[in-house]
Chain A
Amino acid sequence: MPADNGQFPFSTDSFWGNIFSRKSRSLDDITYTLSKSVLFASMNKAELQEFEKIIHRRTFKANEAVFWEGEPGVGMYIVKSGSVGIYNITPDHGKKEIAVLKSGEFFGELALLDDSPRSATCISKENSEIIGLFRPDLFGLLERKPRLGNKFLFQLATVIGERLREKNRELYAYKSKLDSTEIIV
């Protein structure tokens, strides 16, 4: 049966190619996905390969939960392919979608800092491949390669700081809107 690209699936090139270049191709895949993320943007290939050693690749079916709100956080995820939805599920309002994340985007990064409960539920919207980076592995990297670990933590702090600034701006906007609003009793 011909493959999608018109080539025979067991042609000599692809057959031997799969055997001999699987590792390097998978490595390149991961390092490419990581490099697309703002957290790893400043890292060189050797540094990305160090992270490749500590990340986990997971595949999720459509509608499969990645994690549930309230569970202890273990780490962050980066969407490699497919998409995931972030939800708040309450008994009163049901499932409320907060965000949809696509390839290259990340979520759950606060769980890298402590094991406080997840603040939202994450569900795969379609068949997706997701890369996970978890706290125990990051701490291990910090033990072994403190310079690289700190570089990552600094980048993480920058991202969290930027989000905090954005939330502050939103808060001020809401506050000034509230101040200017006349409350009619």
Chain B
Amino acid sequence: MPDTTQATETQARESQPSPVTGKYLVQLSDDFFFKFLRMIVALVALFYVVQLLPKLSGVLTTLVAAILITAVLDPIVSLVERSNINRISAIILVYLLIFLGLFVVVRTSWPLISKQFTSLAHYFESMEADPSVSVFDISRLNLGKNIPFLNLPAVQEKITSNIESSLTEFLRILFDGVITVLSSVPYLIIIAFAVFFFLKDGWKIKRALIQSMPNRYFEMSLIILDKTTTQLSRYIRGQLIVSLAVGSLSIIALTLLGVRYSVIIGAVAGIANMIPYFGPIAGAIPAIIMGFMDTGSVAMVMAITGAFAAIQLTENVLISPYVVARSVELHPLLIIIVILIGQALMGIWGMLLAVPVASILKVIISEIRWGILNYRLKDKELL
């Protein structure tokens, strides 16, 4: 017990006159010296880590992707493990089921996907060969009947070029995105390996992380880590299920309506759905433009809009309430702000990641706040 006598002795020792100069010098205790040294080492390490971050972005992306996939797969592996199967066998079984599922899906839908991609590639080739060739003729829509100034050739040309350029840009982003995914197969293999080991040895990593905590923060850290991982895993799973549902429904609806590139546009609508408010609109717009461009019929636009509205209604009423964790919900205004910040920092990827990252931060901050309020942290070391 650090009693007052000891403290007085330390004070006295610290304020003894120096034999050399005769002046009072404060002698630094070993404890202070080591704390200071540790702080310097930590700062230097932090500096180098920050310097290295841009170079490690590939590794970090792979790691984050692996952690997210692990969060989704872990409960499934645990479910398989319940039937008295050991963990490694359960992981292998889940992997096999996923590969089998992917194989069946790709195999059955490959002719359609391949056809749409070939068509898209031809579209770009024709655009590159002769940009003046218009694939979209606004004059046949006969819009000038009701709005006379739309009959002016200059206005028509402007509208045509604007719609075409934005659509081409959108399709190019899509095409490049898919090509990037396909070209990153080696990364996918690394991610698959990382996920395997996270699933197998995740408990060891979690335990090692917790083990390094000082005793006074131990119970608090344990509960915060558990609450955070549980909520996040539920949130990621929920988002994934919602995206899959919206994507599949969009593909089905667009295919039934006969819209070009229905699989690609539908898949994008599913992914974009992860961005609240902006996502559903961003997912519907390409389909509406594509439908309008091909048929020139306002009825088609209404049909596509109706289909997307019905999908959104189904998502909001039947799917989201059951699968998305309510506790991670952010205020609508905050969502808009973080999406705009994400867009400013990283463009489309930033918009896509803004809400999950903000949700992660919200969960972590609220849990740490709860821990600080409920645990007695200050005087826990020694009585």
Using CB atoms and an 8 Å cutoff, list the residues of chain A in contact with chain B: 53-54, 56-58, 60-61, 63-68, 70-72, 74-75, 115, 123, 134, 136, 140, 143-147
- B1 — which chain A residues lie within 8 A by C-beta? 63
Q: Can you list 18 A-B contacts with CB-CB less than 8 angstroms, sorted by A residue number?
A: A56-B210, A58-B218, A60-B215, A61-B382, A63-B1, A63-B383, A64-B382, A66-B215, A71-B374, A72-B374, A74-B219, A74-B222, A75-B219, A140-B203, A143-B78, A144-B78, A144-B87, A147-B84
Knowing A60-B215, A65-B380, say if A53 contacts B222 (CB, 8 Å): no
Q: Which residue, A53, A60, A123, A136, has most C-beta atoms of chain B within 10 A?
A: A136
Knowing A63-B1, A65-B383, A68-B380, say if A136 contacts B226 (CB, 8 Å): yes
Knowing A71-B374, A71-B376, say if A54 contacts B222 (CB, 8 Å): no
Using CB atoms and an 8 Å cutoff, list the residues of chain B in contact with chain A: 1, 75, 78-79, 81-82, 84, 87, 203, 207, 210-211, 215-216, 218-219, 222-223, 226, 230, 374-376, 380-383
A145, B376: Cβ atoms closer than 8 Å = no
Chain B, Cβ-Cβ closest to A123: B383
Query: In the assembled complex, how far is the CB of residue B205 from the closest CB belonging to chain A, in whole angstroms?
Result: 12
19 more A-B contacts (CB under 8 A) besides A68-B376, A72-B223?
Answer: A56-B218, A57-B211, A60-B215, A64-B381, A64-B382, A65-B381, A65-B383, A68-B375, A70-B376, A71-B374, A71-B375, A72-B374, A74-B222, A115-B223, A134-B219, A134-B222, A136-B223, A140-B203, A144-B81
Q: Which residue, B216, B381, B383, has most C-beta atoms of chain A within 10 A?
A: B383
The 4 closest A-B pairs by CB, nearest first: A136-B226, A68-B376, A144-B81, A74-B219
- B210 — which chain A residues lie within 8 A by C-beta? 56
- A143 — which chain B residues lie within 8 A by C-beta? 75, 78-79, 82
A58, B215: Cβ atoms closer than 8 Å = yes
Query: In the assembled complex, how far is the CB of residue A12 from the closest CB belonging to chain B, in whole angstroms?
Result: 30
Chain A, Cβ-Cβ closest to B380: A65
B219, A146: Cβ atoms closer than 8 Å = no
- Give Cα A147–Cα B84 distance, bound, in whole angstroms: 9
